[in-house]
Structure formats: C-alpha cells, structure tokens
Structure 1
Amino acid sequence: MSGDITFTDNKAPITIRNESSIRRPTVIGKLIEIIATNSATADDLRREPADIEVKIKLNDLKRSKRYLIDYRGESLLVDDSIKELNRNIMNGDRKLKRQMKDFYTDSLCKYSIEINPFDLNKLRENSDNIVEDVAHATMVFVKNSSDLQDGYFEEDIVFGVNLIVGYSIVECIVMENPHDHN
C-alpha cells in the first residue's frame, strides 16, 4: 500500500511507501553499470593536497578540525587502505573522490553557495555545517551499503567515516583548495 501524506506547515509533501517490490532489470540500471565500468574524463579529481593548517584557515573550519586531526594521526592507514581499495576496485580512489565531491556539491547547493565564481565568504560562514553535512551523508551512505555485513562495530564505522571525510578534506575534494584561491 502506498499513499501521500502532507503534514501541516511542511514545505513539501512527505511520501510514505510500504510496498514490496520485485527486483527487475532497468534500462537506467544498465546504463549506470556501463557508466561505472568506463572511466570518466571530464573531472580530474587529482589535487595537490594542501597543508592542513592552511586549509583550516582558508575554509574557516572550527568544529570540523576534528576530521583533519583524526586523519593526520592515521594518514598511513588511510593511504594503505586506498591502495588496497584500488587493488580490489578499478579506479576505486577516483570513484570514492567522485562520491565525496557529490556530497560536497549537494551541501554547497543546500547553503546556496555560488560555485562560478566561487563565493568563498559564504563558504566560510557555513564551513563547519558543510563538513558535517558531508559526514552525515557519508554515514548514511555507508550504513545503507550492502558491503558492510555483521561483525562491524558502530565505532568502527564512525572512525572510518571520520577518516574518509578527513582524507577528502586534505585531498581538496571537500572544502576549497588554498592553491585555487590565492
């Protein structure tokens, strides 16, 4: 059974669906498989990592510094894990960066931050909220992943997400690169 329910003073309708579905192939699903197995050339997600303190200052990070502190302490673990990811998934690091960039772009849009030309002042006003949005989106994405089976503790997931967010900030996928804003 499915239906739409609208709550008073809500800005958009809320749809609640309670229906079972049968997995069927779709044209869109097939296209996504094709896109995923081909290499994208439009976005070059390789960036020159910035010094952490410079990055914190440029983006005016306060609460979100914790992600960079976690990453700094475990950067070798992350680097080795990225190498392992690339051994298991072709272009795994690029796919990870693309997903993190999508989370970042979604958050920029949420706060109506202009990208071209980039509104650095508005980014700074919302920088901690943007990082928290990215971390939250990453956590939801991971928790909905079929890759994580039983046996992983919540603390392991939180730790891993924190490191991935820190890595994405250092690699200038999330938040702005000081080299681009001289």
Structure 2
Amino acid sequence: MTIANEENTPSKTINVERNAGNIIIGDSPEYEISSAINELLKSLANQPFSFKKTKRRPSSETVVKIKHNNLKSKSHIIKQYLDHSSKVEEAYADIDSLIAFGKDTILQNLNDLYYLALDSIEVEYLTCEVDIIKIRENSEYILDFIIQKLKNTVFESKNTPSYKEHIELGVNVVVAHAFIECIIMENPTHDS
C-alpha cells in the first residue's frame, strides 16, 4: 500500500495491491445503519435493576455445558447472565415487538459468529463432527472472538447505546444466554 506521492509528500491517493473487500476512507456506511443487537441492548438497559449480591447457582445442565466446553475461565459471564436472566427474556420479547423476527435475527447472528470463530481456528464442521478437543483448547478464544465481533457491530451501528457499561454487560449476558440456549459452543447431549 502506498500513501505518498513521488515527492514523498503526503497524498490522498492510496494504491492497494490486493484486497478482498471494501476500503473505506472516512466514516463507514455501517455507522448509518441501525442494528438489532443495539435495540436489544437498549431494551436491556431500560429494564429496572437494583444491585443485589446473590448466590444464584447455574443449573446442573449449565454446569455440564461449561465443563464440556472448558469454559471455567468465562464463568463470570454466566454469573452476569444469572443475575439478569429474566431481563434478557423481557428484552427479547420487546425486540420482537420492535423488529420482525428480532430475536431470531440476533440468535442467528450469534450462531454465525460461532462458526466464524470455528473457521478462524480451523475447526471443520461441515463434513464431519466438530473436534471437541480443539474447541475445548480454544474455548476462551472462541468466546472472546464472539464478544469482540458483537461489540464491533454495536459500536459501528447508528443506534449505539449511550453507556459503555450497558454495552459491556449487555453483550456478556446476550452471549451467555446464547451459550445456555446452545446457540453457541457445543451441546454435550449431541456429543454423547
């Protein structure tokens, strides 16, 4: 990529040798489009909440999924979800009233991000059973990948929530919900 002209002075011309997508100089058009996940996060942020330190435990089924996928180091997002689970369900009900198939759109996006993460660690899933050992070895990366991609979508959309804390907590509980509902990561009952 070249960013200077012949006199070695700054130029507004860029020469790109090879590219497989758009190169956008300035604001991306994505910043002008609203996102369904942002509507969900806004709905979550508007749910009444008061901080209470609770000792709510995950179901035995959730514990089995955590162990099966080796997600012990990500238990904090499961804890966040447990503290806010009823609010997540209410927010999904709200999103379906605002956006046709809003919940399904978000869950499909999360599932797509999971497969994108599997692609990035080169786990085959189309022609054979997934390599659960490789998933277990990369489980932290997979979850971090999904969380980061989801945050990118949130920040690059027109209808971004106002507060960073709402985004951080909201993305974590939405991803944890997708994990508990077997939208992302592997379901131990299918691997038995």
Same-fold status (TM-score > 0.5): yes
Where does the alignment leave 5 or more consecutive residues of structure 2 unmatched? 1-11, 30-58
Q: Quote the Cα distance in structure 2 between the aligned partners of 1:19 and 1:157.
A: 24
Q: Quote the Cα distance in structure 2 between the aligned partners of 1:21 and 1:121.
A: 39
Residues 100 and 174 in structure 1, CA contact (< 8 A), matched pair in contact too: yes
Q: Which SS does the other structure have where 2:14 is aligned?
A: strand
Q: Which residue does the alignment assign to 1:25?
A: none
Give 1:72 shift.
Answer: 1.2
Give 1:75 shift.
Answer: 0.4
Q: Which SS does the other structure have where 1:3 is aligned?
A: strand
Q: Structure 2 length as normaliser, TM-score?
A: 0.69
Is residue 123 from structure 1 mapped to residue 135 from structure 2 by the alignment?
A: yes
User: 1:176 aligned to 160, 168, 186, which one?
Assistant: 186
Q: Which SS does the other structure have where 1:64 is aligned?
A: helix
Q: Which residue does the alignment assign to 2:14?
A: 3
Q: Percent identity?
A: 27
Give the direction of change, closer, same or farther, for the CA distance of 1:146–1:17 in structure 2 (3 Å limit). closer
Is residue 147 from structure 1 mapped to residue 147 from structure 2 by the alignment?
A: no
Give 1:17 shift.
Answer: 4.4
The aligned amino acid for 2:183 is: I
Q: Deviations over 1:104-146 (max 9, x none)?
A: 1110000011212211110000001100100000011111111
Give 1:59 shift.
Answer: 0.2
Q: Which residue does the alignment assign to 1:67?
A: 77
Q: Which residue does the alignment assign to 2:5?
A: none
Q: Which residue does the alignment assign to 1:18?
A: 25
Larger radius of gyration: 2
The equivalences for 1:38-57 within 5 A come to 51-57=61-67
Q: Which residue does the alignment assign to 1:39?
A: none
Give the direction of change, closer, same or farther, for the CA distance of 1:20–1:69 in structure 2 (3 Å limit). closer
Q: Quote the Cα distance in structure 2 between the aligned partners of 1:179 and 1:20.
A: 45
Q: Quote the Cα distance in structure 2 between the aligned partners of 1:69 and 1:171.
A: 15
CA RMSD of superposed structures (Å): 2.7
Residues 50 and 171 in structure 1, CA contact (< 8 A), matched pair in contact too: no
Q: Which SS does the other structure have where 1:180 is aligned?
A: coil
Q: Which residue does the alignment assign to 1:34?
A: none
Q: Quote the Cα distance in structure 1 between the aligned partners of 2:170 and 2:27.
A: 33
Q: Structure 1 length as normaliser, TM-score?
A: 0.73
User: 1:160 aligned to 170, 174, 177, which one?
Assistant: 170
The aligned amino acid for 1:66 is: H
The equivalences for 1:107-118 within 5 A come to 107-115=117-125, 116-118=128-130
Q: Which residue does the alignment assign to 1:90?
A: 100
Q: Which SS does the other structure have where 2:152 is aligned?
A: helix
Q: Quote the Cα distance in structure 2 between the aligned partners of 1:127 and 1:21.
A: 31
Q: Deviations over 1:59-94 (max 9, x none)?
A: 011222221111111100001111111111111111
Where does the alignment leave 5 or more consecutive residues of structure 1 unmatched? 7-11, 23-48
Q: Which SS does the other structure have where 2:115 is aligned?
A: helix
